Chains A and B, each alone.
Chain A
Amino acid sequence: MKKAEIRKKAYGLAVCLFAFLLSACSGLSVRNRQERTLFAMDTVMSLCVYGSSSDLDASENLIKSIEKQLSVTDSQSDIHKLNESGTFSVSSEVHELIEKALDMCEQTDGALDITIYPVVKAWGFTTGEYRIPESSELNGLLNMVDYSKVKLSEGKGVSLEKGMELDLGSVAKGYTGDRLMLLLKEQGVKSALVNLGGNVQTLGRKPDGSLWRIAIADPDDISSYLGYVEIEDKAVVTSGAYQRNFEESGKKYHHIIDPQTGYPASNGLKSVTVIGESGFECDALSTALFVMGLERSIDFCNNNDSIDAILVADNGMVYITKGLENIFVIQNGASVKVILK
């Protein structure tokens, strides 16, 4: 056989192999998508992982174990035991999380307060037995709300003043998102998206190399979108008055309580979306900015470079941080104003 013929055959074979591998790979990338929907932390969570079902098993186990540690209602949880006894030696993970959460309460000047639980309970948001508490009752309960009175001692000890109760619900889903991303990375997963009851967190890009496109619900009509952002390795968290509320005598009362007043926060915002690398931070800040209201939120964003936010004001105006200028696409036709940074 001549050399030229051998070369031609080899060339042909290489082309065939390339074409075959191409088709096989395109099929595999789609088939590796694994999805699961589960109920945890009093919400529905959906996990989408480009990996194996064992990645989903590990993720589900992690969610359940965090829930077991942080639940305020499970009598076996660290937080329940702490609330019951006032002093408790929690696990090192919970201790670290409480420390981080207290730091966030400090940074937001108390707009986020992890000791607001007794007031939230009084409104019935923890049980669904909604009621409007008397202002005298609220004033009494507000005396027990003060994050600065939570004492962390050396080791894993945490103590609360009499009557105080701690709830990490405002950061738990964001924290869980961070832990899931770490776990999946360790498992070798390159691409994943989790939606933990409305908190979205992504790992890498989509398998085809494109960015994840995350829609943000329109606070005036949650079945449609305000717009969307395209992200990788980031979390997106929204807080809004529409999320959990009840109506009495024609007035709506929502679940985001202002720690200063004891009443649902009403400071000029319909919704706040925070986008950043840390799910924990996004979760904490979306609540805190909603409580702060429009003016204070704009100041806060201008003084904190690490976060990006979308603020929807009561008048429908949408404010975005400069970092989102080329990432956020408005869809409901609202006016968008970029906050200087």
Chain B
Amino acid sequence: MIKTRTWLIIISIIFIVSSAVSFFLYRWNTAGTVANVYLDGDCIYSVDLLSVSEAYSKTIICKDGGVNVLRIEHGRICVESADCKDHVCVDTGWIVNSSMPIVCLPHRLVIKIEKETSDGNVTMDSVVK
């Protein structure tokens, strides 16, 4: 017959393991700062911005032949230059979190940060503009 103390130990272990699993799942879904680049809805490139130690540029050739040059630094990403008509993508500047994507409508290119670190700042679910 198992004593009450043994039961308590078993319950505690299960509770700790459950909490650890729960915490891991939460962190797994929120930690990191991954920028995903979409072309016409398809993800064509991903980069974990927190793992970038040296800044670099990346050229994206879009489906219509248009060119967007991305600049990638530790924790942030922007469109450095583009041959689109309106340059809205370049004017958007750097993005550092998921609240605002960079969009190049003429080239049907979208850059979104989809997982970010929780640094205590107010985070937004979406942006109207």
Contact = CB atoms under 8 A, between A and B. Distances in A.
B105 A216 contact: no
Given A37-B110, A212-B125, A214-B127, A223 B92 contact: yes
B128 to A, nearest CB: 4
Interface residues on B, range: 35 or more
Nearest to A206: B125
Given A12-B7, A22-B18, A217 B128 contact: yes
Interface in A17-43: 19-20, 22-23, 26-27, 30-31, 35-39, 42-43
Interface string B97-120: 001110101101010101000000
A223 B93 contact: yes
B59 interface: no
Interface string A33-70: 00111110011101000000000000000000000000
A200 B26 contact: no
Contacts of B100: 215, 217, 223
Nearest to A42: B105
Given A198-B129, A222-B92, A238-B129, A215 B124 contact: yes
Contact of B40 (A39, A46, A198, A243): A39
Contact of A228 (B22, B101, B124): B124
A195 interface: yes
Contacts of A242: 129
A199 B126 CA distance: 10
A23 B21 contact: yes
28 contacts: A9-B2, A12-B10, A15-B11, A16-B11, A23-B18, A26-B25, A27-B21, A27-B25, A31-B29, A36-B41, A37-B38, A37-B41, A37-B112, A39-B40, A42-B105, A44-B103, A44-B110, A198-B129, A215-B126, A216-B127, A217-B127, A222-B91, A222-B92, A228-B124, A236-B128, A238-B129, A243-B129, A246-B86
Given A30-B29, A223-B100, A217 B22 contact: no
A257 B123 CA distance: 34
A273 interface: yes
A199 B128 contact: yes
B126 A193 contact: yes
A246 B88 CA distance: 11
B7 A8 contact: yes
Nearest to A39: B108
A134 interface: no
A214 B11 contact: no
Interface residues on A, range: 35 or more
A88 interface: no
A213 interface: yes
B125 A213 contact: yes
A214 B124 contact: yes
A44 to B, nearest CB: 5
A193 B14 CA distance: 36
Given A16-B14, A222-B92, 8 more contacts: A12-B11, A26-B22, A35-B114, A37-B38, A213-B122, A213-B124, A217-B127, A225-B124
Interface in A199-219: 199-200, 206, 212-217
Nearest to B99: A215
Nearest to B114: A35
A161 to B, nearest CB: 33
A5 interface: yes
Nearest to B21: A23
